[in-house]
Structure 1
């Protein structure tokens, strides 16, 4: 890779981090995608990298398919490179035609996984308790289910972001977009109990304002949340492989199943476009189909 392309890659990462306010995780994803592409150029002996033509770009995508990556992953990598070369074209005059001409692979129809209402009740019942850890875990589960926020948004919450008088939480979402999400009395009660007794006991002299903490009193991480949820699912004897986004999917699905309108769910989830929310209509239609097939005498 020549010096101009290397500089373009460095400035691009600074641009998406500082000017576009992308999260550290997203910036790291872009960095890895670029690094992987530049390694491909080197391994294939393709020029200096500045004059990438459509055949070279298409060959790279072919290599991705050969690795049997998911279509969504391939599509993301194409988007990363398209964004980078657009930036490099604007700032450095590097040709970006090759990736502008590439088609994204057709999306796989993959319905989001979610918990049924009975499974959520089982989760809450199995994990109820009076120890500081149980109180914390219940508050965490209640808030995720009550608001549908992303795990990264949950771990970024400060104590002052949760208003227990108005039962509303201030969330900083993707692209530094702020939104306010209401929550019900179950979450409010669990959160109040956690803040009154469990959090002070767990903090162990640590001084910071993060809402959720691990058992050492330091801020809880995304990985820590995943571990907590896995433990809770095991305790409830639910034979499900959980990932934190399942609670976000569950939140959206249950709202739509119970009559919420699409626009309200979009706003609560913090989706920039309605198309991101519409995937849940497929889930609710499937739910209705199963209900019909199980209940109708001549189904």
Structure 2
């Protein structure tokens, strides 16, 4: 049974999450991640938010460490708690933010996993049996690599946002920020084949504003596309772990390796901060170091 203090804490959490959606215009996925992290703390604390102290916050992170929670996840939880208690302080719920002097855990910058260009070519081979579903999956995989979209952007992409004549996508990304992403004539031809030969069969006379739909003519889920990309990797004989985000990482890394400037890649990915994009320069640096060690006489 929930005590009054727990009910009040959950109500305040609900108000905070609403503010993230309405005022800060964060995506549903980001808001859900904040909610999950903060509920973890509320399950640990059990008491009134007004009485939370710096020591209790530290005890919570000791508990997280004992549970083998990674430094990166703890840094995210700390960021969520800072934002939540900052909100409570602004609302006059708490007099002092107990997280003011707590340092963020130091974490190493994990380099994103990428596919080689030959692995991408293997994954994106045209299906031997061009069924409507195979053509749809092929078009989705090809467009994901060609444009570097987030999986949520891909499965929610409207038909009207794909301009085949000019070869570009109009993407409404995080924070409702719009960006333009070009794609090649090859990608355009693959999408056109899907639109003409596959999409009408999937819709079965139904109408849909989305470019890609399920075999029942409905919107596709993120989880379903994860299954599609894994099945495609297995069928292609690739043993690497492959996810939608790995194709996005590969898109950025291959662009930079080919000579694209960092600012252009940032715009195509929809990163608010160029520092987020700079991680891909480290990926290419690692490749160069590997080549140097392999071929240089004093490598």
Return the TM-score normalized by structure 1.
Answer: 0.94
Unpaired runs of 5+ in structure 1? none
Q: Secondary structure at the match of 1:180?
A: strand
Separation in 1, partners of 2:272, 2:171: 15
Partner of 2:134: 134
Partner of 1:66: 66
Separation in 1, partners of 2:92, 2:156: 36
Deviations 1:71-127 (A, max 9, x none): 111111111111111111111341342112211111223110011001011112264
Closer, same or farther: CA 260–96 of 1 in aligned 2, 3 Å: farther
CA contact (8 A) 1:139 1:190 kept: yes
Matched positions, count: 295
Match of 1:7 among 11, 23, 26: 11
Taking only aligned residues, the RMSD between alpha carbons, in angstroms, comes to: 1.6
1:298 Cα deviation from its structure 2 partner: 4.7
1:296 Cα deviation from its structure 2 partner: 3.3
1:201 Cα deviation from its structure 2 partner: 0.9
Alignment pair present for 1:217 and 2:217: yes
Q: How does 1:151-170 map to 2 (within 5 A)?
A: 151-170=151-170
Alignment pair present for 1:272 and 2:276: no
Q: Secondary structure at the match of 2:170?
A: strand
Partner of 2:250: 250
CA contact (8 A) 1:128 1:135 kept: no
Q: Secondary structure at the match of 1:169?
A: strand
Partner of 1:106: 106
Closer, same or farther: CA 259–5 of 1 in aligned 2, 3 Å: same
Q: How does 1:220-299 map to 2 (within 5 A)?
A: 220-299=220-299
Separation in 1, partners of 2:179, 2:108: 30
CA contact (8 A) 1:158 1:210 kept: yes
Deviations 1:154-195 (A, max 9, x none): 111111110001100011111111111001112111111111
Partner of 2:88: 88
1:48 Cα deviation from its structure 2 partner: 2.1
Partner of 1:29: 33
CA contact (8 A) 2:208 2:217 kept: no
CA contact (8 A) 2:162 2:170 kept: yes
Q: Secondary structure at the match of 1:97?
A: coil
Q: How does 1:32-47 map to 2 (within 5 A)?
A: 32-42=36-46, 47=47
Separation in 2, partners of 1:69, 1:7: 27
CA contact (8 A) 2:50 2:93 kept: no
Unpaired runs of 5+ in structure 2? none
1:288 Cα deviation from its structure 2 partner: 1.0
